[in-house]
Each structure stands twice: as C-alpha cells, then as structure tokens.
C-alpha cells in the first residue's frame, strides 16, 4: 500500500499507532468531513478524529501527509518524520484546522529543503526561528515573508484561514 485515502469520512477516536508501521506508504489522506471552513460549524468534534498526531517517525517514503479538519491535539513531536531522508524531493504536510499547540519544531523539519507546511487554524504559539529562512519552503513564500509565510504573526489572523 502506497496511498491511504480516507478523506471526508466521519471517523471518530484516535489514529491507530499502526499507521506508523506502514513501511511503504507515500501518501496519507485522512482529512475530516469538510475542508470548507464555513461548513466546519456544522461538523462537531464528535465527528472527527481526536488525540495527538500519530507517530510517523519510521515512515521513510512519505511525500504527503494530510490530516486537516480533524480535532487533533497536542504539539508536533520533535521526532515527527525523523526517518525521512533530508534529500526528499518535495514534502507536503497539511495539518490545518486542528487544535495543535506549542512551537513548530526545527529539530527534524529543518532538514527538508522543499516543504509545504500548512498549519492555519490551529493553536500554535510560535515557530522555531531556524525554519523561517527556508527559501524554498511553501514555494518560496517563506523566503519572501519569513515565519509569516508559514503562519500569520501571533495575535493576527486571516479572515478566511485563521492564524
């Protein structure tokens, strides 16, 4: 199995730890019932996946991870995607519209030169400054805007997408 697509389902509970054992997986799509922010008000937390991000640190072939419009909580772990080679051609991580908190860690993420990291509509308080100079992240937007190319500054927001 190289692609797991479980989009737009009304799954509940937590993501299983066994997700991190799918050694050949390249793309994971487990977006919530709606990616339309205006429609999220009709979808309650009971209609979404809850709990922390699953341990994906052993998955060496990932190219895309999409967990948007869920109710994931906690922080992005320091070992998130640890096993991916730093020369991965392009990586997309979409964690928008969850309840993730804390600092976006550079511990592992700094190794990637081409990364699209979508984090809007979370409760993230800061971004490790080391990530703010990644010139090819977000298709060059981080080169132009620094940390603001990843998330709006703390205390501000975009009416359509949140922080």
Q: Is the pLDDT of residue 17 over 90?
A: no
Q: For strand 99-104 and strand 123-127, is the pairing parallel, antiparallel, or unpaired?
A: parallel
Instruction: Average the pLDDT over 46-62 and give the result.
Output: 89
Nearest to 67 by CA among 37, 99, 95: 95
First to last CA, the chain: 34
Q: For strand 27-29 and strand 64-66, is the pairing parallel, antiparallel, or unpaired?
A: parallel
pLDDT more than 90, % of the chain? 50
| Tens-place pLDDT, residues 38-49 | 454 555 556 789
Strands annotated E in 2-142: 3-5, 13-14, 27-29, 49-51, 64-66, 71-74, 91-94, 99-104, 115-118, 123-127
Residues paired with residue 103 on neighbouring β-strands, in sequence order: 126
Q: What is the four-CA torsion angle of 56, 72, 1, 11, rounded to 10 degrees? A: 150
């Amino acid at each position: 199995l190289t692609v797991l697509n479980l989009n737009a389902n009304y799954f509940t509970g937590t993501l299983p730890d066994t997700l991190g054992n799918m050694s050949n997986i390249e793309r994971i799509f487990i977006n919530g019932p709606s990616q339309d922010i205006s429609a999220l008000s009709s979808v309650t937390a009971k209609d979404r996946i809850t709990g922390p991000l699953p341990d994906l640190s052993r998955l060496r072939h990932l190219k895309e991870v999409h967990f948007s419009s869920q109710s994931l909580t906690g922080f992005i772990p320091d070992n998130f995607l640890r096993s991916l080679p730093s020369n991965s051609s392009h990586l997309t991580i979409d964690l928008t519209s969850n309840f993730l908190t804390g600092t976006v860690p550079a511990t592992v993420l700094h190794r990637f030169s081409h990364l699209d990291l979508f984090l809007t509509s979370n409760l993230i308080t800061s971004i490790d400054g080391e990530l703010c100079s990644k010139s090819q992240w977000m298709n060059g937007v981080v080169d132009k805007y620094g940390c603001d190319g990843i998330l709006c500054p703390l205390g501000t927001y975009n009416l359509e997408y949140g922080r």
